[in-house]
A and B are shown apart, each in its own frame.
Chain A
Amino acid sequence: MTVKNDRVVELDQAVIRFAGDSGDGMQLTGNLFSESTAFAGNDFATFPDYPAEIRAPQGTVSGVSGFQIHFGKVDIHTSGDKADVLVAMNPASLKANMRWITEEAVIILDTDAFIEKNLIKAGYESNPLTDDSLTGHVVVQAPITTLTREAVKDLHIDNKSAQKSKNMFALGMIFYMFNRTYERTFRFFETKFQKNPLVVEANKKVLSAGFNFAHTIEAFANTFKIKPAALEKGIYRNVTGNLATSWGLLAAAERSGRKLFLGSYPITPASEILQEIARHKQFAAIAFQAEDEIAGIVSTIGASFAGSVGVTSTSGPGLSLKSEALGLAVMTELPLVVVNVQRGGPSTGLPTKSEQSDLNQALFGRNGEAPLIVMAAQSSSDCFYSAYEAVKLSVEHMTPVILLTDGSLANGSEVFKIPEVSGLPDINPPIVEANDPDFKPYKRDGEKLRRAWAIPGTEGLRHRIGGLEKEDIYGNVSHDPLNHEKMSRLREEKVERVANYIPELEVDGDPDADFLVVGWGGTHGMMLTALEQLRDEGHSIAMAHFKHIKPLPRNTREVFSRFKKILVCEINLGQFVNYLRMSLPGIEFDQYNKIQGLPFMVKELKQKFLEYLSD
């Protein structure tokens, strides 16, 4: 290792991965670094990678918890393929993360943890610090545990509590490495541990000790600086997808003049939505924790009938349980939003991992002809706008909407420019006035074909709805064959006409390219980054990325017809591409699929795209 440390190298972007045992506080460490990154003015995106178990066996590879942050002065659309810097608090976290770091990555290790017992637990046959397995990496060996204890010895706290702050030692080292100041983090300690001044003091001491240690031992050949990104003027914050979804729902309820009702059952990775809405009774938002997924959606349908903006949040297996009730919402033509945070399936599958494999279920997973709107959020911050739009379309068109997000978007975070709620599109629910002489339960408006919302308690509008087929206009139970065909077609046409109220499909990149890459939902950031990099490298390539899936944007066929080769990329075995083949016969689609519970990496997308570009 070189000893010059006065050199500051400027970078465009970097990726850091913090990894440790699931009790080591890596998520907090990552979040604190994110806050500091925001303050430094960089654009960034983060992704936590944690085990399904709350405290998996200590020291084992399955118990490793990670947090990755990708930050830069350039636009950041993803949490990064592989890390340039890895912080590994024990042998297991080193072992688990070797495949997630670049060949030249800097590795910061707690050497105190590399003892035989831990090496065995991690499944190492020889010590990676002494064999040659880390060749090529810059390895910074720091006795973090010892130094942490040393840093707080004046505070006379017990060993166990002292060791709890060793993550802050690592954070201090990273702060030094990236020329960060730590005053804001100190302020965070003061607020977070208000009731325990000793903990505040300990964390401060350990963080500074880490910072000073990195400086003193001249751990790094140079330190790094990343200039602020050229973000638009405005006020910014960091949001995870689940937070953005929750806030989008609240904003939509506020703008629609209706109250939000969320009926949900806890399920990974969607529970944060239920938890977040539960915090906001001040907006008269009700978060009802139901006894199961079915009661979650059915209570919500009840609340929708009673005039609330009804939302239920879930993940794959929960969506399966809601299928029958979704049919009821289709039949009764009530507004309803289902937020489905996709995870790996089938069955319990990979609860903490991400996938795009619930698309078929969203489109087709009901008995009968049961059309509804299907949308997919494209990034963590887009979850806000998608949730908002899902409510708008649902109440204005009197139809259920399934909004698909995924585990990566839900738990990942990115920079979010705070909008003004009054600047968002109007939401106009078609509520029937009391004693409207023309009211008929299934009378439709000519443009949207939606029926109107006659809310119980309103004088002069008493009527019955339910799961049995209803007579057109009058809404009485009807088993008439021709009426059933008419109603089936009307329900389908109503959803198709939503295409007149959503934006047309836009093409990113080179409009004259021969090669179009297509994706939907959560792959947007990776695909866009791959596209931008390939264009920077001189390739001609275009991208169409879908947020609206049913109905498809009106110009979809027209867009596709402009390209010679189309490659549809998704994190499943080809659900969207088959939907496109079915919906747009005559157009040829190639497909690229990955199904590992992980997002695409930019590198692998580029590699795949290059196969087409070099043809």
Chain B
Amino acid sequence: MEQAVSINEMKLTKKDFESDQMVKWCPGCGDHAILKSVENVFPELGIPKEKFVVVSGIGCSSRFPYYMNTYGFHSIHGRAAALATGIKLANPELSVWMITGDGDSMAIGGNHFIHLARRNPDVNVLLFNNRIYGLTKGQYSPTTPKGAKTKTSPQGTFEPPFNPGALVLGARGKFFARVVDTNMKMMSEVFAEAAKHKGTSIVEILANCVIFNNKIHGLITGRETKNDNQIFLEAGKPMIFRQERDKGLVLRGTRLEVVNIGENGITEDDILIHDPTTEDPGIHMMLAEMKPPEFPAAMGVIRAVKSQPLEDAVWASIEHEKEVSPLKSVDDLLHTGNTWEVS
């Protein structure tokens, strides 16, 4: 929620949001960069520091609230979405951030996660997807690729994984974005977009677990391979990727296809323009599902559709009822209906 206080007056900096607690993630963990990016974004949002609430569930990522100097709540496994919803409904003026992981939100908290997306309170979700259980030391998660050998899948997993983006869209989510933990500029930009969006905004962060699943996103984030395997989507712009800007996406029939610009008479004009605002999730779903080697993985804001946040609807109803209800106090309520007097 935007505040009437001007940024200049507040002069918030990164320092305002750094906590005095020791950060206990493993050296080389992707979470460090995510924390820095968040610390960079918060002072820029024009929100007084006491209005931020950072909540989480359980897992490596969920230690996050302790590392931010804001109001924070480290809750229980999988339930941060419910906690965030309660906070936002109770006080819509708070800027609520939910930190979660693939185990926390795709497994034990899957139910709360889809209902958060469906209900659409103005909560910003940062989903750290490292495709493994880190804090419990290396068991497969609902996003672990099928066949991956982990401590609990010595023969390789038998289960196909979730794609968080597809899950969000399937749950009728209004905002979904994806970033990589190796690009702080991208993270800061997209987190700010998420903050501005009214309603539940879910950002999947492809995060690296250096200990138990190192380089799981390597094809997408690797120095040598990222040029081919990432496309950063921007609203109103053609879906072009590679630094050379020589590849793009077109819609052929009902499928997306990668084309080489400049070959076979294809020009930039033939490339699909990204529109994150369409209610129809068809293209957004295809974008969320793209993965190497056939496609680059989609980064940036894939979907951002305007829709009334839950708390706005609830509080509008409260304001309306306050005005029209003949009941001004609980005393009035106690005397409604059939009463009788004994004198």
Please determine whether B49 and A466 come into contact, CB atoms closer than 8 angstroms: no
Please determine whether B75 and A250 come into contact, CB atoms closer than 8 angstroms: no
A residues 416-470 in Cβ contact with B at 8 Å: 418-422, 456-468
A461 vs B8: C-alpha distance in the bound complex, in angstroms?
Answer: 22
Chain B residues with Cβ under 8 A from A228's Cβ? 342
A459 vs B115: C-alpha distance in the bound complex, in angstroms?
Answer: 32
B residues 39-96 in Cβ contact with A at 8 Å: 48-51, 53, 55, 58, 65-66, 69-76, 79, 81-87, 89-91, 93-94
A301 vs B339: C-alpha distance in the bound complex, in angstroms?
Answer: 36
20 A–B contacts, CB within 8 A, in A order: A35-B338, A41-B340, A235-B341, A247-B333, A282-B322, A291-B115, A298-B82, A302-B73, A306-B87, A306-B91, A307-B91, A310-B86, A325-B76, A327-B76, A457-B51, A461-B50, A462-B49, A466-B73, A466-B75, A467-B76
Chain A CB within 8 A of B330 CB: yes
Chain A CB within 8 A of B21 CB: yes
Which of B72, B83, B94, B328 lies in contact with A299, CB distance below 8 A?
B83
Please determine whether A38 and B338 come into contact, CB atoms closer than 8 angstroms: yes
The winner among B112, B331, B333, B339 for most chain A CB atoms within 10 A is B333
A476 vs B74: C-alpha distance in the bound complex, in angstroms?
Answer: 12
Chain A CB within 8 A of B325 CB: yes
A422 vs B21: C-alpha distance in the bound complex, in angstroms?
Answer: 46
- A: contact size bracket: 35 or more
Known: A298-B83, A301-B83, A457-B94. A463 touches B74 (CB 8 A): no
Please determine whether A463 and B90 come into contact, CB atoms closer than 8 angstroms: no
Chain B CB within 8 A of A530 CB: no
A38 vs B337: C-alpha distance in the bound complex, in angstroms?
Answer: 13
A 108-143 binary contact with B (CB < 8 Å = 1; else 0): 000000000000000000000000000000000000
B118 nearest in chain A by CB position: A291
Chain B CB within 8 A of A193 CB: no
Please determine whether B94 and A306 come into contact, CB atoms closer than 8 angstroms: yes
A250 vs B328: C-alpha distance in the bound complex, in angstroms?
Answer: 12
Chain A residues with Cβ under 8 A from B334's Cβ? 237, 247, 251, 418-419, 421
- B181 to chain A minimum Cβ distance, whole angstroms, is 23
Which of A39, A310, A463 lies in contact with B71, CB distance below 8 A?
A463
Chain A residues with Cβ under 8 A from B325's Cβ? 281-282
Chain A CB within 8 A of B155 CB: no
A231 vs B339: C-alpha distance in the bound complex, in angstroms?
Answer: 14
Chain B CB within 8 A of A200 CB: no
Which of B21, B71, B85, B333 lies in contact with A456, CB distance below 8 A?
B71
- A128 to chain B minimum Cβ distance, whole angstroms, is 37
A1 vs B320: C-alpha distance in the bound complex, in angstroms?
Answer: 61
Chain B residues with Cβ under 8 A from A294's Cβ? 79, 82, 112
A416 vs B83: C-alpha distance in the bound complex, in angstroms?
Answer: 37
Chain B CB within 8 A of A501 CB: no
Please determine whether B342 and A234 come into contact, CB atoms closer than 8 angstroms: yes
Chain B residues with Cβ under 8 A from A251's Cβ? 330, 334
Chain A CB within 8 A of B335 CB: yes
Chain A residues with Cβ under 8 A from B76's Cβ? 298, 324-325, 327-328, 467
Which of B66, B70, B75 lies in contact with A462, CB distance below 8 A?
B70
Chain B residues with Cβ under 8 A from A458's Cβ? 50
Which of B65, B86, B340 lies in contact with A306, CB distance below 8 A?
B86
9 tightest Cβ-Cβ pairs between the two chains A and B: A302-B86, A466-B74, A299-B86, A282-B325, A464-B72, A295-B82, A298-B82, A303-B90, A306-B90
Chain B residues with Cβ under 8 A from A520's Cβ? none
The winner among B21, B89, B329, B340 for most chain A CB atoms within 10 A is B340
Chain B CB within 8 A of A611 CB: no
Chain A residues with Cβ under 8 A from B257's Cβ? none
- B122 to chain A minimum Cβ distance, whole angstroms, is 14
Chain B CB within 8 A of A300 CB: yes
Which of A232, A298, A304 lies in contact with B79, CB distance below 8 A?
A298
Other than the known A419-B334, A421-B334, A467-B74, what 13 A-B pairs have Cβ atoms closer than 8 Å?
A41-B340, A237-B340, A250-B330, A280-B327, A291-B82, A292-B111, A298-B75, A302-B82, A306-B86, A306-B91, A456-B51, A457-B51, A466-B66
A263 vs B339: C-alpha distance in the bound complex, in angstroms?
Answer: 30
- B334 to chain A minimum Cβ distance, whole angstroms, is 5
Please determine whether A303 and B342 come into contact, CB atoms closer than 8 angstroms: no
Please determine whether B91 and A457 come into contact, CB atoms closer than 8 angstroms: yes
A 180-211 binary contact with B (CB < 8 Å = 1; else 0): 00000000000000000000000000000000
- A538 to chain B minimum Cβ distance, whole angstroms, is 32
Please determine whether A457 and B93 come into contact, CB atoms closer than 8 angstroms: yes
A292 vs B322: C-alpha distance in the bound complex, in angstroms?
Answer: 29
A35 vs B112: C-alpha distance in the bound complex, in angstroms?
Answer: 44
Please determine whether A307 and B90 come into contact, CB atoms closer than 8 angstroms: yes
Chain B CB within 8 A of A286 CB: yes
Chain A CB within 8 A of B314 CB: yes
Give chain B's interface residues, CB within 8 Å of chain A: 19, 21, 48-51, 53, 55, 58, 65-66, 69-76, 79, 81-87, 89-91, 93-94, 111-112, 115, 314, 317-318, 320-322, 324-325, 327-331, 333-335, 337-343
Which of A259, A292, A298, A476 lies in contact with B86, CB distance below 8 A?
A298
Chain A residues with Cβ under 8 A from B48's Cβ? 459
Please determine whether A254 and B89 come into contact, CB atoms closer than 8 angstroms: no
Chain B CB within 8 A of A507 CB: no
A404 vs B100: C-alpha distance in the bound complex, in angstroms?
Answer: 34
A45 vs B58: C-alpha distance in the bound complex, in angstroms?
Answer: 49
A233 vs B340: C-alpha distance in the bound complex, in angstroms?
Answer: 11
- A243 to chain B minimum Cβ distance, whole angstroms, is 10
The winner among A41, A294, A310, A461 for most chain B CB atoms within 10 A is A294
Known: A286-B90, A462-B50. A420 touches B331 (CB 8 A): yes
Please determine whether B340 and A236 come into contact, CB atoms closer than 8 angstroms: yes
- A282 to chain B minimum Cβ distance, whole angstroms, is 3
Chain B CB within 8 A of A288 CB: yes
Chain A residues with Cβ under 8 A from B324's Cβ? 282
Chain A residues with Cβ under 8 A from B338's Cβ? 35, 38, 237-238
B50 nearest in chain A by CB position: A459
- A69 to chain B minimum Cβ distance, whole angstroms, is 15
Chain B residues with Cβ under 8 A from A247's Cβ? 330, 333-334
Chain A residues with Cβ under 8 A from B81's Cβ? 295
A306 vs B337: C-alpha distance in the bound complex, in angstroms?
Answer: 34
Please determine whether A290 and B82 come into contact, CB atoms closer than 8 angstroms: yes
Known: A281-B321, A303-B89, A465-B74. A236 touches B329 (CB 8 A): no
Chain B residues with Cβ under 8 A from A282's Cβ? 318, 321-322, 324-325, 327-328
A237 vs B333: C-alpha distance in the bound complex, in angstroms?
Answer: 12
Please determine whether A466 and B72 come into contact, CB atoms closer than 8 angstroms: yes
A residues 240-270 in Cβ contact with B at 8 Å: 247, 250-251, 254, 259, 261, 263
A263 nearest in chain B by CB position: B86
Chain B residues with Cβ under 8 A from A261's Cβ? 86, 89-90
A434 nearest in chain B by CB position: B50
B327 nearest in chain A by CB position: A282
Which of B318, B328, B337 lies in contact with A237, CB distance below 8 A?
B337
Which of B65, B82, B341 lies in contact with A234, CB distance below 8 A?
B341
Please determine whether B327 and A456 come into contact, CB atoms closer than 8 angstroms: no
Chain B residues with Cβ under 8 A from A477's Cβ? 21, 66
Please determine whether A464 and B73 come into contact, CB atoms closer than 8 angstroms: yes
Chain B CB within 8 A of A308 CB: yes
Please determine whether A233 and B342 come into contact, CB atoms closer than 8 angstroms: yes
A476 vs B329: C-alpha distance in the bound complex, in angstroms?
Answer: 41
A284 nearest in chain B by CB position: B318
Chain B residues with Cβ under 8 A from A306's Cβ? 53, 86-87, 90-91, 94
Chain A residues with Cβ under 8 A from B329's Cβ? 254, 421
A 319-346 binary contact with B (CB < 8 Å = 1; else 0): 0000011011000100000000000000
- B21 to chain A minimum Cβ distance, whole angstroms, is 7
Chain B residues with Cβ under 8 A from A281's Cβ? 317-318, 320-322, 325
A534 vs B83: C-alpha distance in the bound complex, in angstroms?
Answer: 53
Chain A residues with Cβ under 8 A from B341's Cβ? 234-236
Which of B85, B322, B343 lies in contact with A284, CB distance below 8 A?
B322
Chain B CB within 8 A of A515 CB: no
- A109 to chain B minimum Cβ distance, whole angstroms, is 30
